[in-house]
Amino acid sequence: MQFTTNYGLFIGKNLITLKEVDSTNSYARELLANSGPVPDGTVIMAVTQTGGRGQAGSAWLSEPGKNLTFSMILHCGFLPPPDQFYLSIAVSLGVVDVLKPELGGRASIKWPNDIYSGNQKLGGILIENILSGNRLKSSVIGIGLNVNQLSFPNLGRAVSMRQLKNAVFDLELLLGKLCHSVEIRYLQLKAGHWDRLRHDYHDDLLGYGAPARYSADSEEFEGTIRGVTREGKLLVESAKGTGTYDKKQIRFIF
């Protein structure tokens, strides 16, 4: 399978298609560490990942040839480390911007950067930053999207675009659209459009402004997401006031 991407200015213009690799994120990191300069926007996509990695040391499982598993290399030295979460905002928005029209609006971001449809997980993003001293040098942005897979044994919450739309999606076309769309959001980030990105992120955030059930400190409660902090922590208002949570501290109860 040889893919090309025909949209956009730089993301996906240098596209490396691999039949099989352990993890496209690991491949991208090795490329950055061991070869000469890697063009900004290089994308590595794999038909099969044998050791796909998810957040918090989890595995990312994907049926060979059915879904999109790829990583983008972005040289985002312009981004001050305290604002790294904005990269996560830009990438997740780039993904939902493509999925919403494909799925009749049924796509959102589950904080911090999971891609959901209703209460089912369509995709995930794993961002790994490469620092030089205390400056950000490059980021490897791994995206796994469930596209044409029809069943997810033992992954209760997973769903694919095909299951939602009862249609088969062209992986190459979708990859091109995603590269282009992430590029648009990344250029907004580069141009310093923080407020716009934050506003759009809140608009697409699952549970934003709507009461729902959460669990934190072994306690279940009703709360309403009011936004995210600059560092990417979640702000949830409840009867006790507004709490600030990191990923390990709070769980959504669906």
Residue ranges in contact with ligand BTN by CB under 6 A: 23-25, 49, 52-55, 58, 60, 69-71, 114, 124-126, 142-144
Given the complex with ligand BTN, which of 79 and 122 has the nearer CB atom?
Answer: 122
Alpha carbons 213 and 134: distance in angstroms, whole number: 38
Given the complex with ligand BTN, which of 114 and 183 has the nearer CB atom?
Answer: 114
Cα atoms in the 13 Å half-sphere on the side-chain side of 217: 4
Alpha carbons 234 and 246: distance in angstroms, whole number: 6
Given the complex with ligand BTN, which of 194 and 252 has the nearer CB atom?
Answer: 252
Given the complex with ligand BTN, which of 58 and 249 has the nearer CB atom?
Answer: 58
Alpha carbons 72 and 139: distance in angstroms, whole number: 8
The 3-state DSSP class for residue 30 equals helix
Given the complex with ligand BTN, which of 60 and 243 has the nearer CB atom?
Answer: 60
Task: Give least dist CB 44 to ligand BTN, A.
Answer: 9
Report the residue number whose CB is nearest to ligand BTN. 124
Beta strands (DSSP E) in 66-192 are 68-74, 108-110, 114-117, 120-132, 135-145
Alpha carbons 175 and 168: distance in angstroms, whole number: 14
| CA-wise closest residue to 8 among 216, 210, 221, 183 | 183
Task: Give least dist CB 174 to ligand BTN, A.
Answer: 14
Task: Give least dist CB 179 to ligand BTN, A.
Answer: 14
Task: Give least dist CB 31 to ligand BTN, A.
Answer: 13
Alpha carbons 188 and 185: distance in angstroms, whole number: 5
Given the complex with ligand BTN, which of 63 and 237 has the nearer CB atom?
Answer: 63
> DSSP assignment of 58-103, as one string?
-B----TTTSEEEEEEE--TTS-GGGTHHHHHHHHHHHHHHHHHHT
Task: Give least dist CB 157 to ligand BTN, A.
Answer: 11
The two three-digit tokens of residue 91, written as one number: 């990438």
Task: Give least dist CB 36 to ligand BTN, A.
Answer: 23
